[in-house]
Amino acid sequence: MVLNQFLLLAAALFCIGVYGVLARRNGVMVLMSVELILNAVNINLVAFAAFTNSIAGEVFALFVIAIAAAEVGVGLAIVLLIYRNRKSIDLTEVDLLKG
């Protein structure tokens, strides 16, 4: 197998995730797109681990999975709080810090 086929797949997944983060208005859907981005990074880490025959990339992929789980927990709590305060999770309406 060619190394680049994994890296290009990860790049495509990353770009789809970036599009989702920028184009979505729903808070939960933005968090889903962030998950796509994190998974693209994980594919890169594991592909380089297989390429260099070292285990470190896989260990860091496991760390990224743990951090992603924590991120979803806190992110969904924040979205829930926004919903409770404003009765909507439309991110374009959350502009209190806008000058």
Tell me the C-alpha distance between 45 and 58, whole Å: 7
Return the residues of window 20-39 that contact other proteins according to CB under 8 A. Answer: 20, 22-29, 31-33, 35-36, 39
Interface with other proteins includes 94 (CB under 8 A)?
Answer: no
Q: Which of 36, 41, 40, 35 has its CA nearest to residue 76?
A: 35
The answer to whether residues 33 and 20 touch, using CB atoms and an 8 Å cutoff, is: yes
The residues in 41-60 that bind other proteins, with binding defined as CB under 8 A, are 42-43, 46-47, 49-51, 55-56, 58-59
> Radius of gyration of the chain from Cα atoms?
17
For 78, what's the count of Cα atoms within 13 Å in the CB-facing half-sphere? 14
93 near other proteins, judged by CB under 8 A? no
Query: What residues make contact with other proteins under the rule CB under 8 A?
Result: 1-9, 11-20, 22-29, 31-33, 35-36, 39, 42-43, 46-47, 49-51, 55-56, 58-59, 61-63, 65-74, 76-81, 83-84, 89-90, 92
